[in-house]
C-alpha cells in the first residue's frame, strides 16, 4: 500500500486512497484563501482559453478609435494602446501565452527534478555527489540572471525563454525531491517492501514516487507564480515573447514607451500579473496545508 508523505520530515501515515483524497479535497476547499486562488486562476485561465469567443476585438489589429484612449472609452473598457489596439482583448489573448510560459517551465523542471532527485537520493554515493555538486554550481547564479544569460547564449524567443527558465529551476526542485527521498527511503515500510522481494524499480516507482510527489507538487505550485513574474520580466526586457504577440510582459514593456502620455497602457497588464501570481501562491499555500495532516487536524 502506498503511503503519502505530507511534508518533509514527517512520518507518513497509511490511509486508504479514496479517503485520503477526499480529506485532502475537503481541507483544500475549506481554506478560503486557497479557494480564492483557485477562482482567480480559473477565471483568468478560462478567459484565456475562451479568448476567440469572448475577446471583444482582435488583439493584433488597430480599432477605429484614438490611440491611447483612456479606460472607460465606449466599447473599450480598458482603453487602447499605442497602436490603438484594444487593451482588454490583448489581456485576454495574452493570458494564453503568459500562463503557458509560466507553467510549462515549472512542470518540465519538476519532471526532470523528480528523476534527478530520486536517483541522487536513492543511490547516494558517487552519483549523488556528482549530481549535487553540478547543481551547486547553478546555485551560484541568481535565478533570473542565469535565465537571462542562457537566453543570451541560445538567443531570444518563446521556446528558448521556456527552456532557460526550466533549466534554472531544476536545481531547486531537485533539492526538494532529494531531501524527501532521503527521509522516506530509510523508513521501515521501505525495508518491509524490500524484505518482500521488491526490486529497486518497484520500490522507486510504487513507494518512493507517491511519497516525494506531494512536497514536489507543493513546491512547484508556489513556483508557478514566481515564474509568471519572471517570464513576463524576460518578455519585458525583449528576451522572451516578441511583439506584437500579446503577452502581459510585452504589454508592460511597450506601454513603458508611452508612460508619460498614457500610464494605463503599462500599468493595467501589471495588475493582472500581480493578481495571477497571488492566485497561484494562494493555491500553493492551500496545497501545503491540505497535504499536511498536522495542519488538517
Partner 1 sequence: MTSYVAQRLFGLVPVLFGISVVIFLGMKLIPGDVARALLGPMGTAESLAQLRGALGLDQPLHVQYVKWLWRALHGDLGLSPIVHQPVVELLLPKFGNTLILAGASFVLAASAGIAAGVLAAARERTAIDRVTMGASLVVGNMPPFWLGLVLIVVFAIDLRWLPSLGMYSTRGAGGVADLLTHLVLPAVTTTAAPGAIIARMTRASVLEILGHEYIMVARAKGLAERVVISAHALRVAWPPIVTIAGLQLGYLLGGAVFTEEVFGWPGLGRQLVSSVIARDVQVVQGAALFIALSFVVVNLVVDLLNLYLDPRARPA
- Residues forming contacts to partner 1 in the complex (CB under 8 A) are 133-134, 136-138, 140-145, 148-156, 225, 229, 232-233, 236-239, 249, 252-253, 255-256, 259-260, 263, 266-267, 269-270, 273-274, 277-278, 281
**Total residues found in the chain within this entry:** 297
For the chain, the C-alpha Rg in angstroms (whole number) is 22
What is the residue-wise DSSP string for 77-97? TT-B-TTS-BHHHHHHHHHHH
Question: How many C-beta atoms lie closer than 10 Å to residue 60's C-beta?
Answer: 13
- Can you tell me which residue has the cell 482603453? 79
Cβ-based nearer residue to partner 1, 12 or 253: 253
Cβ-based nearer residue to partner 1, 12 or 171: 171
The least CB distance from residue 97 to partner 1, in Å, is 16
- Name beta bridge partners: 80: 86
Cβ-based nearer residue to partner 1, 12 or 225: 225
| ∠ Cα 48 112 156 (to 5°) | 55
The least CB distance from residue 5 to partner 1, in Å, is 22
The least CB distance from residue 280 to partner 1, in Å, is 9
Scanning the chain, the segments in alpha helix (DSSP H) are: 17-30, 32-49, 51-54, 87-123, 125-139, 143-154, 158-185, 188-195, 200-202, 209-236, 248-256, 264-291, 293-296
Cβ-based nearer residue to partner 1, 188 or 260: 260
The least CB distance from residue 272 to partner 1, in Å, is 10
Cβ-based nearer residue to partner 1, 25 or 274: 274
Cβ-based nearer residue to partner 1, 50 or 271: 271
How far lies 16's CA from each of 3, 19, 20, 21, 30, in Å? 9, 6, 6, 9, 21
Of 241, 233, 246, residue with least CA distance to 87: 246
Cβ-based nearer residue to partner 1, 151 or 184: 151
- Name beta bridge partners: 86: 80
The least CB distance from residue 260 to partner 1, in Å, is 6
Backbone angles phi, psi at 213, to 5 degrees: -65, -45
The least CB distance from residue 125 to partner 1, in Å, is 17
Cβ-based nearer residue to partner 1, 207 or 289: 289
Backbone angles phi, psi at 37, to 5 degrees: -60, -45
Amino acid at each position: 500500500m502506498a503511503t503519502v508523505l505530507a511534508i518533509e520530515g514527517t512520518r507518513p501515515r497509511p490511509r486508504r486512497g479514496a479517503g485520503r483524497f477526499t480529506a485532502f479535497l475537503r481541507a483544500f476547499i475549506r481554506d478560503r484563501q486557497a479557494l480564492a486562488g483557485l477562482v482567480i486562476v480559473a477565471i483568468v485561465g478560462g478567459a484565456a482559453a475562451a479568448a476567440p469567443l469572448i475577446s471583444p476585438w482582435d488583439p493584433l489589429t488597430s480599432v477605429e478609435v484614438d490611440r491611447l484612449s483612456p479606460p472607460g472609452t465606449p466599447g473599450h473598457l480598458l482603453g487602447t494602446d499605442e497602436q490603438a489596439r484594444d487593451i482588454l482583448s490583448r489581456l485576454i489573448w495574452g493570458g494564453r501565452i503568459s500562463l503557458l510560459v509560466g507553467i510549462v517551465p515549472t512542470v518540465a523542471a519538476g519532471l526532470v527534478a523528480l528523476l534527478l532527485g530520486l536517483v541522487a537520493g536513492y543511490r547516494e554515493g558517487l552519483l549523488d555527489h556528482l549530481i549535487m555538486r553540478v547543481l551547486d554550481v547553478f546555485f551560484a547564479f541568481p535565478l533570473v540572471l542565469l535565465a537571462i544569460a542562457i537566453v543570451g547564449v541560445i538567443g531570444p524567443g518563446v521556446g528558448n525563454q521556456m527552456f532557460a527558465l526550466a533549466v534554472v529551476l531544476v536545481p531547486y526542485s531537485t533539492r526538494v525531491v532529494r531531501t524527501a527521498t532521503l527521509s522516506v527511503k530509510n523508513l521501515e515500510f521501505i525495508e518491509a517492501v524490500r524484505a518482500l522481494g521488491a526490486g529497486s524499480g518497484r520500490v522507486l516507482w510504487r513507494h518512493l514516487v507517491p511519497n516525494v510527489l506531494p512536497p514536489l507538487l507543493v513546491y512547484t505550485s508556489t513556483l508557478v507564480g514566481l515564474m509568471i513574474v519572471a517570464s513576463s520580466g524576460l518578455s519585458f526586457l525583449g528576451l522572451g515573447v516578441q511583439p506584437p504577440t500579446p503577452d502581459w510582459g510585452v504589454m508592460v514593456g511597450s506601454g513603458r514607451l508611452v508612460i508619460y502620455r498614457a500610464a494605463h497602457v503599462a500599468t493595467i497588464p501589471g495588475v493582472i500579473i500581480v493578481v495571477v501570481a497571488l492566485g497561484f501562491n494562494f493555491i500553493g499555500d492551500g496545497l501545503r496545508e491540505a497535504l499536511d495532516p498536522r495542519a488538517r487536524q
